[in-house]
Structure 1
Amino acid sequence: MSEVIRKSVALLTTIVPTEDQEEWSATEVSRQLDIPIQTVHRLLSSLAEYGFVFQNHETKKFRLGFTLMQLGFSIRDNLAIRNSALPTMEKLMKNTGESVYLTVPEGTEGVIVDCLHKNLLSKEREIGTRTPLCVGASNQAILSHLSSDMKQQIIQKLVEQGEISDVHTLESELKSITKWKIANSFGEMTKGTVTIAAPIFSWEGKVVASISTVFTETNIKDQRFKYMMSEVKKAAGVISEELGWLKSS
């Protein structure tokens, strides 16, 4: 059974639409995964029964079904963090005139669960985008505030994965972020952009997400930079309080 699940996941990952191709034939999937075409047909038919895959009856090709999108949106919409954060995200975007993101940790990665776009450069980061927790302000704002044990476990895994080349520099940056509860990065995820992020805490005082704003490097000015940091930090505090966090915690 685990082998069937593995092949099904590989199949779903393969037929993700791209700019060059929206639909896939069973033959193309078979060649891509090196799985017998009979097996591909059987898996596609089973997945189509539940709406995970859709077959275009004119082209006979397949694409991802709307059931996956419905499941994804149900997870996103039911995130208490997102529901609490959205009004504040909208206000932050209005106050700064820049794109705003909400990121949550999952394993060794940060996952964007919502975003409000204001500039084109930041559109490379969409909902569902995953990046290592050691990269970028939005992720480091989370990593820096995890428990010491959890932080070290994640750093060790990322070192083993080749994501971290200089542990000492990273740890120094994380200490600074922990102290000031604000992080910034320049072009780490998208060239030509600056990211400012702050951690969001739960009622238990545990970091559960980060809120960040992204703007172009041409917009960097001392007064504006300070203003952006103040607004992002304020927004993180508002969301944390919505989640029951007490400032003294």
Structure 2
Amino acid sequence: MSEVIRKSITLLTAIKPNEEKEEWSATEISRKLNIPVQTVHRLLVSLEEYGFVFQNKETKKFRLGLTLLQLGFSIRDNLPVRNSSLPVMKKLWDKTRENVYLTVPEGDEGVLIDCINSQQSLKDAAPIGVRFPLCVGASKKVILAYMNTRVKQRILKGLMEKGEIKDLKKLEEDLVIIQKCGVAISFGEIKEKNVSVASPIFSWEDKVVASISVMIPDTRFTGSRIRDIISFTQKAAEEISEELGWIKRR
């Protein structure tokens, strides 16, 4: 990879906004990345020209530019699985009144690309674009469970090398159960005191391309509601899959 490209990507990642800070000076960026301030200035000028960073004229500090948002939404808005899922997600939310998520795989991670949030659970909602390894959480594990064996083993090997998997045997046993049941359930893996229920979405090629999931506080995941959430989620996944041309095996 070109050194300029590598440094540019590193810079963009470094100035990602958080709860404590939204803007950075060139000096702060230089210190954070251990890159000469002159180099940082050159990179910022080039990135600003194309809208990847924005300089606040009053503070002279920099933040991520809206071009990144535009690019991200252009990708998301043209994903067939998202377009097919939105009406079904709304129906699932109407039935459950809980957070409903749509997750797609990218490499060895699952990326949240859309959601409908419950007002009563809004503070627990995950942000669009957040990503986790495919070995963490129901919405990711259910995708991994239905991948073909060769791809699954490659991903498991890579996650093991990264130290993301603590107990491979247990994970493999869980994936077998998920595939048999057609649903994954996780307790507090992403958010403490929350339960996630997820089912896989398939393309016309019978390839897993996404998952739809419901996240619910564990205090509400009781009694007949457990069966309802699981049933509603599975039916929603099947409806989206059929919209994508998938034919259910009898």
Q: CA RMSD in A?
A: 1.1
Q: Corresponding residue for 1:197?
A: 198
- Paired amino acid for 2:158: K
Quote the Cα distance in structure 2 between the aligned partners of 1:96 and 1:142: 22
Q: Corresponding residue for 1:87?
A: 87
Quote the Cα distance in structure 1 between the aligned partners of 2:124 and 2:19: 18
Q: Displacement of 1:248 after TM fit?
A: 2.1
Q: Corresponding residue for 2:213?
A: 212
Contact 1:201 1:209 in 2 (8 A): yes
Q: Displacement of 1:120 after TM fit?
A: 3.0
Quote the Cα distance in structure 2 between the aligned partners of 1:151 and 1:175: 12
Q: Displacement of 1:121 after TM fit?
A: 4.8
Q: Corresponding residue for 1:30?
A: 30
- Paired amino acid for 1:80: P
Quote the Cα distance in structure 2 between the aligned partners of 1:91 and 1:8: 42
Q: Displacement of 1:147 after TM fit?
A: 0.2
Aligned residue for 2:74, secondary structure, equals: helix
Contact 1:122 1:215 in 2 (8 A): no
Relative to 1, partners in 2 of residues 1:171 and 1:121: Cα closer, same or farther, differing over 3 Å?
Answer: farther
Aligned residue for 1:120, secondary structure, equals: helix
Q: Corresponding residue for 1:74?
A: 74
Quote the Cα distance in structure 1 between the aligned partners of 2:166 and 2:65: 40
Find runs of 4+ consecutive structure 1 residues off by over 4 angstroms: none
Quote the Cα distance in structure 2 between the aligned partners of 1:97 and 1:49: 44
Q: TM-score, normalised by structure 2?
A: 0.97
Quote the Cα distance in structure 1 between the aligned partners of 2:123 and 2:165: 25
Aligned residue for 1:17, secondary structure, equals: coil
- Paired amino acid for 1:98: E
Aligned residue for 1:10, secondary structure, equals: helix
- Comparing 160-169 with 231-240, greater Cα deviation is found at 160-169
Quote the Cα distance in structure 2 between the aligned partners of 1:56 and 1:135: 38
Q: Displacement of 1:135 after TM fit?
A: 0.9
Quote the Cα distance in structure 1 between the aligned partners of 2:122 and 2:47: 36
Contact 1:105 1:208 in 2 (8 A): yes
Quote the Cα distance in structure 2 between the aligned partners of 1:15 and 1:134: 28
Q: Give aligned pairs, total.
A: 248
- Paired amino acid for 2:80: A
Q: Corresponding residue for 2:124?
A: 122
1:114-153 correspondence runs (5 A): 114-118=114-118, 119-123=121-125, 125-153=126-154
- Paired amino acid for 1:126: P
Q: Displacement of 1:21 after TM fit?
A: 1.2
| CA offsets 1:126-181 (integer angstroms, 9 cap, x no match) | 11111110111101110000001111111111111111121111111111111111
Q: Corresponding residue for 1:53?
A: 53
Q: Corresponding residue for 1:247?
A: 248
Q: Displacement of 1:220 after TM fit?
A: 1.9
Contact 1:121 1:190 in 2 (8 A): no
Q: Displacement of 1:206 after TM fit?
A: 0.4
Q: Corresponding residue for 1:182?
A: 183
Relative to 1, partners in 2 of residues 1:76 and 1:111: Cα closer, same or farther, differing over 3 Å?
Answer: same
Q: Displacement of 1:67 after TM fit?
A: 0.5
- Paired amino acid for 1:207: V
- Paired amino acid for 2:241: S
- Paired amino acid for 1:27: T
- Paired amino acid for 1:18: N
Quote the Cα distance in structure 2 between the aligned partners of 1:173 and 1:132: 15
**Is there any run of 5+ residues in structure 2 with no aligned partner, and where?**
none
Q: Corresponding residue for 2:10?
A: 10
Aligned residue for 1:35, secondary structure, equals: coil
What is the identity percentage for the equivalent residue pairs of Structure 1 and Structure 2?
Answer: 59
